[in-house]
């Protein structure tokens, strides 16, 4: 078992106090509870984070890169239990190898009516992972933090009636939307972010829009 690195402890301490942007603030009532697992580990290329590529055949966010996660079921022990269960179902992750560090403030996704709690974890005992649910997941990637912070892999992506948000091009994936917004915040809260060109704005590819319209 490896100890939680200092940078991740600091990231977790800052992340729990993250200010929720107005567009992501949950309503007073309503919305389905959901959770995602933002899992950091020490991989072959240094610190990394676990991401999945959702299946183009899936019902939830088809074709999109994402954190493992899903809805909170009645038998779950809240968002933490849901995030670990979903990660196990989607990637074959052994939850016993994860140290949960913090839960971040709840974020509301109006297009899916989900209230999502990001759960921050340290992969103290890594195991092999794979697309354990082929109907929902095409692939699983451990993305090095250095690739996420590389300015060459960062851009702003214009979508949703002209609004632009952060995005990443890593491991053959275009990471955008909710997942990219959370990653952007985590890199900033962990003082890991490098200067990058926020004026580099691209249009969201038509094929990505078509898939998103199905989810």
- The predicted-structure confidence for 161-182, as pLDDT tens digits, reads as follows 778 999 999 999 999 999 999 9
Q: Which residues, in sequence order, are CB contacts of 86 under 8 Å at separation 6+?
A: 35, 36, 37, 68, 69, 70
Architecture of the structural domain at 6-145: Alpha-Beta Complex (3.90)
- The predicted-structure confidence for 150-160, as pLDDT tens digits, reads as follows 999 999 999 76
Confidence of residue 194 (pLDDT cuts 50, 70, 90): very high
Query: By 3-state DSSP, what share of the chain in percent is helix, strand and coil, each rounded to 5?
Result: 30, 35, 40
28 pLDDT exceeds 90?
no
Give the Cα separation of 113 and 33 in Å (integer). 9
Percent of the chain with pLDDT over 90: 79
* Torsion, Cα of 16, 68, 171, 60 (10° steps): -120
Parallel/antiparallel/unpaired status of strands 32-43 and 46-54: antiparallel
pTM: 0.95
- In the chain, where the domains are located: 6-145
Angle at 51 between CA 116 and CA 134, to 5 degrees: 95
60 pLDDT exceeds 70?
no
């Amino acid at each position: 078992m490896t100890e939680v690195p200092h940078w991740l402890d600091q990231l977790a301490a800052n992340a729990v106090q993250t200010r929720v942007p107005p567009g992501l603030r949950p309503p007073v009532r309503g919305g389905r509870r959901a959770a995602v697992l933002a899992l950091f580990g020490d991989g072959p290329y240094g610190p990394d984070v676990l991401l999945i590529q959702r299946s183009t055949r899936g019902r939830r966010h088809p074709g999109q890169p994402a954190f493992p996660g899903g809805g909170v079921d009645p038998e779950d022990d809240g968002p933490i239990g849901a995030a670990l269960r979903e990660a196990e179902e989607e990637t074959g992750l052994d939850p016993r190898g994860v140290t949960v560090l913090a839960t971040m403030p709840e974020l509301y996704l109006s297009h899916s009516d989900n209230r999502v709690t990001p759960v921050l974890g340290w992969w103290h005992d890594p195991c092999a992972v794979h697309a354990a649910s082929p109907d929902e997941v095409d692939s699983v990637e451990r993305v090095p933090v250095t690739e996420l912070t590389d300015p060459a892999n960062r851009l702003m992506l214009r979508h949703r009636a002209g609004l632009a948000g952060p995005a990443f091009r890593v491991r053959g994936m275009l990471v955008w939307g909710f997942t990219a917004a959370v990653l952007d915040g985590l890199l900033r809260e962990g003082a890991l972010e490098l200067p990058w060109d926020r004026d580099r704005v691209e249009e969201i590819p038509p094929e990505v829009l078509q898939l998103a319209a199905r989810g």
